[in-house]
Structure 1
Amino acid sequence: MTFFARQEAARRRTRVLLVYYAAAVVLIVCAFYLASRAIAGLVTEAARDESREVSGRGRVGFQVFAWDPLWLLVTAGVSAAVIGGGTLYRRASLAEGGAAVAHSAGGREIVPGRADGFLERRLLNIVEEAALASGVPVPRVFVLEEEPGINAFAAGFSLHDAAVAVTRGALERLSREELHGVVAHEFSHIKNGDMRLNSWLLGVLFGILVTSILGRQLMLALRFMRVSGNRKSSGGGIVLIAFLSGLALWVIGSAGVFFARLIQASVSRQREFLADASAVQFTRNPSGLAGALKRIGASSFGSAMRCANRSELAHLLFSPGASLSSLFASHPPLLARIRQLDPGFTGDFTPWRAVPREAAPAPTASSFAAAAGVSALRMPAGGDAESPAAARALPALEPGLRETLARPEDAAAALYGLLLSGDEDVRQRQRSRIAVAEATALAAAAERWRDVLQGMDRITRRQVLDLAVEGVRQRTPDGRAACLALARELADADRERSLFEALLLGRMQRALRPAGVVRGFYGKPLPPARVQDEVATVLGVMAYLGQPHDAAAAEAAWREGVVRATSFGVGRLPMPARRACTLADWDAAVQRLDGLAPLFKGELLNACSFVMRADGALTEDETELLRALADLLDMPLPDGSRFQAA
């Protein structure tokens, strides 16, 4: 199953979960209806005068099961308010994305340039290298200081608000190779789209859990109430109503939590196996991930978590945060996971009890890329040519440059420097605009950055772009919005956007959008048949870019993509004219294509790759355009294997 098919499978599983959730809510409403009528019947009977003969046996049963639409409406409203309110509250608390989840677990953010010691700098380097090599935006990084166990998690609603959190135990007890395996596992969750599913499950589970919490708190509150000894007093009836209501909330909510956790656990176990396999494919090194799992088995702390919300985070974690029965286990058994990676493992963890000692500096990004065998695009069988952007290893940036880009104002100046024009008149207007919108000093800094960046190749400039965007994310929300708006003005200053500018603005737009603005992952996506013209335009831009002077070759390349984009039915359309395939047309088309389901976005990206390699050669411009397309569609850059000819 391809990455994009897995995305669609995750969406289908989510729809099933939504059905289960809706069914659970309906059952909870029915249970509340019956329980409330039973409570009302019991209170009514208890309030009757004892001297009066009670002649209606079974009256309570009649009250319980009698149909009362008004009562049902009230019960449904109260149930929806409790469950829906809890879900919305939890979702609102996660509006900041993965960072909110990390903070809720007691995480402390590691800010580039202010990392505390070698271990934290090593973690930052590993995360940055993995992100840059895989085509995924660099997530925010957190360390869970109070957690001695070996564990980690990735969370967030999208690729651009992701966060990776690692326990202090993992930092101190894992070698670089093993920590790399853990980070790769978490990046696999990011690339496979698990974060959205997991973050959604957090909200749903809390919504059901809140009913149980309310019931328990209501019963506990009764300990402090005193009831009058006067038999005519209504105090006893009030206490009885409160107690029975609390009991009903607690029982019904607990039952809902029971089944919700079953659903959560079954989904989580399968996706952990998937993440392990994806991590090995990503690193080309199963021993690192297997070693991390073996150290968990050898450690006295294991992967245990101490944070109060560890049960809610169970499906996010690298390894179980608490011991659970196999029915509720969020992860497959430890030995089963290890033997998937190392079939010869006997179960003896003794050699893995010693803490590895590493004093050497962390490997550079180039050594990571070489070790991981990273490539963005690979030619089909029979051709060895690779994309120029992928054939070379990622360059290593100087540590001082990394620290500079971690400072928000310096990062903004670097982004503006990337956008400064080579035309003196245009550049002067751009500098004036920066001085007005930001500060004169920042305009001068942008000019200096331009001079430095001119001597760098395109791959290094893209690495600077990625790190600078992460630096600007440290600004206030207004500061991020101002930076994005100014970047758009600078890119349009010469009334023409280059491919690199399209990539830059796409990356900034995704990373710097306001907190809480999340595209509708569960909204109804656009059907492929409604975006035929847009797909034809995107494929046309790709074809004309690769064949700027040969119309026949461009159309042949376009047809190569069309036959791979069968879901869109583009084959019935003529190829768009060259004048209708400008970057502006491409940008407008991509904005609409953003509404597609991930499966069809992946199909489009694959079709574009066939257009690009139709002539047997890949240029840097073609590679950059595909990267910009993947970024604007909020999709990771696919692995090279997905560009193999079928």
Structure 2
Amino acid sequence: MDFFERQRTARGTSVKLVVLFVLAVLASVAVIDVIAVLAMQGRGNVVGVLVVVSACTLLVIAGGMIGKTFSLRKGGAAVAASVGAVPVDPTTTDPALRRFVNVVEEMSIASGVPMPRLFVLPLEEGINAFAAGFTPADAAITVTGGALSRLTRDELQGVIGHEFSHVLNGDMRLGIRLIGLLHGIMLLGLIGSRILALSGRGSDRKGIPPVVAIALAATVVGFVGQFFAGLIKAAVSRQREWLADASAVQFTRQPAGLAGALKKIAGMPAGSRLADERSAKEVSHLLFGEGRRFSRLFSTHPPIHERIVALDPTFREADLETLRERWHDELPHGMAGDATSGLAPGVRAPVAVTPAQVSGRAATIGPDDLDHGAALNAQIPPHIHQLAMQPSTAAAVVLAMFVSGEPGLRATQLVAVQERLGNATARSVDALAAELAALPRHLRLPVVSLASPQLTGRPDHEQQALLAALDDLALADGAVSLFEYCLTRTVRTTVQDAADPASRSRPGSTTVRRATDEIVTVLAALATAGNPDPVAARQAFSGAFAHLRTGAPVPDMPAGGSWRRLDACWPALDGLARLEKRLLVEAMVAAVLDDGKLTTQEAELLRAACALVHVPLPALVA
């Protein structure tokens, strides 16, 4: 099952969950109504009471659900903050945190998604982690202090690979929706308990007062609702954890790393449990390991020994006791067990690709991609790397990529930056322009990826000024190359996704046929960019359209469109249904692959175009 199939399946699962929760809510309302009628004992207007009780019940559930979901609307960072996680400084020199940052950097560059925000629960001794967010642009990865101190680099890489699977496969949106839905039902029980505590003494011998009866019903229904919600959450989470384990092994090619992390969870006294019970309960379905003790019925994860056996077939359940004895008195020290070098020896050679192969690699990391990501990360000049990871200089790094070497044009561009972002930023851009001009093109998207969380973490007015300044720089000479266009739009998409992740992550339903005009415009732009000869460009365009709609008449190839015309295309293309989007990706590949070769420039152009429709691609060539 590839990325597009997984996305379609996730949407189906989401619909089923909503239906089940609606049924649970209706059942809750019915139970409370019945108890309210019995408590009335023939007194008053029964119909009026039922209407009021039903409305109040629905308002409580809806209010709790909407309120919680609204509080998490900013995505992963909001979820991390809600459980008390502390942000990690991406420029930290702390060895354990530096290792964590490096592992995530390599995986982010390898997969073609923006660098997530990083958080840590420093006081949690258990080994655990979770990824949260609506889109990769607002994703946050949180690890416990125990994971940082007890895991080796290979083991930590396995855990991060597991969490990256959730980032790439769209699991995170479902996880946040579950938090909101569950809170709505839970709130009903909490309010009922509070009313009972305040008015329970008001009962008399003539019967139970209506308010107490309704409060009792709300308490019972709230806990019953939690019971069934817990079952649903556990079933969905267990299946996703199996898939994430398998993906982590695919990403890292080291089942021993992930297995080692699971073995330490099984053997250490703290295991994967979180000391904060409230946090453990709320995000239990997001965690790498069980955050609290559950019966098997409510367990959000497969049994630990079954997960280990899937990775290490020689492991036996009896070996769990051996692990417990091993780490009972002396806990493992992760940093001491690290290999001397975690970097790949070099960048891999260019690979042959076809449209189907590229679409099959969407949102995945192949056997060599992680090593390639590590090597690309190592190639970024340390000074540029440091500046891209600092909130105060990340914008200047990105802007400097667009500054011209021609003195007059450069002066005009710097004036535009000054007007948009102030003197300090303009001076930084001027100082960095020569160094960024010398940066190899294949490193520009990785640098943008590293800078992304710093850009999206700035105030809204600064983000809007940055986007306007990027347009000013790209348009300063009156001609925008397609690569410049795609790079500026990649930054824009990342910023917009992070600013409004809930709405920007909604799955589309448009068909290729309905978006034909927009697809034709983009295919023509890609074909022209890869073929300066008009005849060759026309041939590439025709082949791409034929791949998209087999047997359909090939339309006339439109003339090179302006950047405004291209801007008008992306909403419709991003709104394609998941399986329809696969056809678009394959057609875009065909447009740049007509001559049978995929250069570095074409590959990075393709990655940028795919990012605009939220289909992350790994680096395809060196």
Return the TM-score normalized by structure 1: 0.85
State which drifts further: 140-149 or 461-470.
461-470
Counterpart residue identity of residue 394, structure 1:
L
Contact 1:95 1:515 in 2 (8 A): no
Q: Does the residue aligned with 1:189 lie in a helix, a strand or coil?
A: helix
Give me the whole-angstrom Cα distance separating, in 2, the residues matched to 1:242 and 1:71. 11
Give me the whole-angstrom Cα distance separating, in 2, the residues matched to 1:392 and 1:257. 44
Matched, 1:303 2:303: no
Contact 1:543 1:557 in 2 (8 A): yes
Give me the whole-angstrom Cα distance separating, in 1, the residues matched to 2:349 and 2:117. 22
Contact 1:562 1:571 in 2 (8 A): no
Q: Does the residue aligned with 2:86 lie in a helix, a strand or coil?
A: strand
Contact 1:211 1:249 in 2 (8 A): yes
Give me the whole-angstrom Cα distance separating, in 2, the residues matched to 1:628 and 1:407. 23
- 1:183-198 aligned at under 5 Å gives the runs 183-198=160-175
Give me the whole-angstrom Cα distance separating, in 1, the residues matched to 2:611 and 2:271. 38
Match of 2:376 among 391, 394, 409: 394
1:519 aligns with 503
Offset of residue 414 of structure 1:
1.2
Offset of residue 622 of structure 1:
1.9
- 1:120-269 aligned at under 5 Å gives the runs 120-222=97-199, 240-269=209-238
Q: Does the residue aligned with 1:419 lie in a helix, a strand or coil?
A: coil
How many pairs align?
A: 600
Q: Does the residue aligned with 1:591 lie in a helix, a strand or coil?
A: helix
2:60 aligns with 82
Label 1:269 to 1:639 Cα distance change in 2 as closer, same or farther (>3 A).
farther
1:24 aligns with 24
Offset of residue 7 of structure 1:
0.5
Q: Does the residue aligned with 2:294 lie in a helix, a strand or coil?
A: coil
Offset of residue 109 of structure 1:
0.4
Match of 1:97 among 71, 75, 80: 75
Label 1:4 to 1:200 Cα distance change in 2 as closer, same or farther (>3 A).
same
1:644 aligns with none
User: Gapped runs of 5+ residues in structure 1?
Assistant: 46-62, 642-646
Label 1:392 to 1:154 Cα distance change in 2 as closer, same or farther (>3 A).
closer
Label 1:189 to 1:285 Cα distance change in 2 as closer, same or farther (>3 A).
same
Offset of residue 22 of structure 1:
2.0
Matched, 1:498 2:481: yes
Contact 2:241 2:302 in 1 (8 A): yes
2:40 aligns with 40
Offset of residue 482 of structure 1:
2.0
Contact 1:149 1:301 in 2 (8 A): yes
Matched, 1:538 2:510: no
Give me the whole-angstrom Cα distance separating, in 2, the residues matched to 1:462 and 1:429. 25
1:316 aligns with 286
Label 1:621 to 1:582 Cα distance change in 2 as closer, same or farther (>3 A).
farther
Label 1:419 to 1:72 Cα distance change in 2 as closer, same or farther (>3 A).
farther
Counterpart residue identity of residue 260, structure 1:
A
Label 1:467 to 1:377 Cα distance change in 2 as closer, same or farther (>3 A).
farther
Label 1:393 to 1:404 Cα distance change in 2 as closer, same or farther (>3 A).
closer
State which drifts further: 162-171 or 336-345.
336-345
State which drifts further: 245-254 or 581-590.
581-590
Counterpart residue identity of residue 329, structure 1:
S
Matched, 1:477 2:460: yes
Give me the whole-angstrom Cα distance separating, in 1, the residues matched to 2:381 and 2:338. 13
Counterpart residue identity of residue 225, structure 2:
G
2:242 aligns with 273
User: Gapped runs of 5+ residues in structure 2?
Assistant: 358-367
1:334 aligns with 304
Q: Deviations over 1:400-450 (max 9, x none)?
A: 543332322311211221121344332211111222222223212101211
Contact 2:36 2:50 in 1 (8 A): no
Offset of residue 563 of structure 1:
4.9
Counterpart residue identity of residue 508, structure 1:
V
1:417 aligns with 400
Give me the whole-angstrom Cα distance separating, in 1, the residues matched to 2:342 and 2:556. 41
Matched, 1:609 2:589: yes
Q: Which has the higher contact order (CA 8 A, sep 6+)?
A: 2
Label 1:520 to 1:250 Cα distance change in 2 as closer, same or farther (>3 A).
farther
Contact 1:96 1:161 in 2 (8 A): yes
Matched, 1:109 2:87: yes
Give me the whole-angstrom Cα distance separating, in 2, the residues matched to 1:392 and 1:150. 25
Q: Deviations over 1:285-342 (max 9, x none)?
A: 2111111111111111111012213112111000111121222111111111112112
Counterpart residue identity of residue 408, structure 1:
P
Give me the whole-angstrom Cα distance separating, in 2, the residues matched to 1:108 and 1:375. 40
Label 1:460 to 1:489 Cα distance change in 2 as closer, same or farther (>3 A).
same
Q: Deviations over 1:196-225 (max 9, x none)?
A: 1111111111111111111111112236x6
Give me the whole-angstrom Cα distance separating, in 2, the residues matched to 1:622 and 1:78. 59
Offset of residue 150 of structure 1:
0.4
2:601 aligns with 621
Q: Deviations over 1:536-593 (max 9, x none)?
A: 2223333333333152x4455445444543xxx5753424425155655433222321
Q: Does the residue aligned with 2:376 lie in a helix, a strand or coil?
A: coil
Offset of residue 252 of structure 1:
1.4
Label 1:206 to 1:392 Cα distance change in 2 as closer, same or farther (>3 A).
closer
1:53 aligns with none
Contact 2:507 2:577 in 1 (8 A): no
Offset of residue 346 of structure 1:
2.7
Label 1:79 to 1:364 Cα distance change in 2 as closer, same or farther (>3 A).
farther
Counterpart residue identity of residue 80, structure 1:
L
Give me the whole-angstrom Cα distance separating, in 2, the residues matched to 1:245 and 1:391. 59
Offset of residue 520 of structure 1:
5.2
- 1:64-83 aligned at under 5 Å gives the runs 68=47, 71-83=49-61
Q: CA RMSD in A?
A: 3.2
Q: Deviations over 1:130-150 (max 9, x none)?
A: 111111110000001121100
- 1:418-457 aligned at under 5 Å gives the runs 418-457=401-440
Label 1:364 to 1:529 Cα distance change in 2 as closer, same or farther (>3 A).
farther
Q: Deviations over 1:106-164 (max 9, x none)?
A: 10000222x36210111111111111111111000000112110000000011111000
Match of 1:586 among 555, 560, 566: 566
Q: Does the residue aligned with 2:142 lie in a helix, a strand or coil?
A: strand
Give me the whole-angstrom Cα distance separating, in 2, the residues matched to 1:152 and 1:536. 43
Contact 1:287 1:341 in 2 (8 A): yes
Give me the whole-angstrom Cα distance separating, in 1, the residues matched to 2:173 and 2:584. 22
Quick one: percent identity of the two aligned structures?
Answer: 38
Counterpart residue identity of residue 468, structure 1:
A
Give me the whole-angstrom Cα distance separating, in 1, the residues matched to 2:381 and 2:135. 30
Label 1:516 to 1:618 Cα distance change in 2 as closer, same or farther (>3 A).
closer
Give me the whole-angstrom Cα distance separating, in 1, the residues matched to 2:239 and 2:53. 37
Counterpart residue identity of residue 620, structure 1:
T
Contact 1:181 1:288 in 2 (8 A): yes
Contact 1:106 1:145 in 2 (8 A): no
Q: Deviations over 1:59-86 (max 9, x none)?
A: xxxx98xxx4x55543442222111110
Contact 1:138 1:467 in 2 (8 A): yes
Give me the whole-angstrom Cα distance separating, in 2, the residues matched to 1:254 and 1:98. 28
Contact 1:543 1:612 in 2 (8 A): yes
Match of 1:283 among 243, 252, 263: 252
Counterpart residue identity of residue 152, structure 1:
A
Offset of residue 365 of structure 1:
8.6
Contact 2:28 2:225 in 1 (8 A): yes
Offset of residue 523 of structure 1:
6.6
